[in-house]
Structure 1
């Protein structure tokens, strides 16, 4: 066998399957309707994203969750228009990922697969809630992962009082 053939044979074969995905928790609050307000408003939408991954009791299975907290306020007077909280999870079967690369794999690659479904839910819920559909921009999960690692490192370097 050639050198290249040997190297290819030794490289781990990564396998990933989405076993299931589901809404764990969701809340939508139309604050404008509750206040009886109507009319045109210029929305200022803020989106907070949190990711979570955990090992399941079955070998090679992991649960990955995208948690969104979306608030929309009127740009003119800063009154809240709606709040949407969504916890969306997927169960993945992952094999062949080296241990040192598993954490970033779970928090980057798995959310990329879940995101189109999350985007659709957010669009449908905001539309069905009486607002124009909110089409989320793509999320850079690599940048999000790097920010979280930097935040954790900074947190660990802070002296404990």
Structure 2
């Protein structure tokens, strides 16, 4: 099904995870781990994802780069904010790439009051698409993003067994 792409494209996905919030947070707060979980072959994460400019999992802001295998585009992002108590992390693109002029995202891990062994996971994103973007590339990127929350869900379902 084709995706209708607007110049400002907003996405919101959520799911229930088969792991407690602390376990989920320990994984998803690390950009290297979440990229590995959500990369269905579209990123060559084993060689191309790196912390840059002194970034690390425990540093905020923290910059990291990776390449998209679908077009070789270099993606430069940074963890912009993190709230360890509320288990929320925001990140953004620091340079345009592959037709995406700007990108901001937030992940949240929430407690489920009546089921402490499970978590509620949210992922919101805003992409601004460049006027001259190759819409086929942008559509492919958005298509991958549409599936990433399910990949997180599936990852924790496997580890729960």
TM-score, structure 1 as length reference: 0.29
- Larger RCO (alpha carbons 8 Å, 6+ apart): 2
Looking at secondary structure, tell me which structure has more helix per residue.
1
Larger radius of gyration: 1
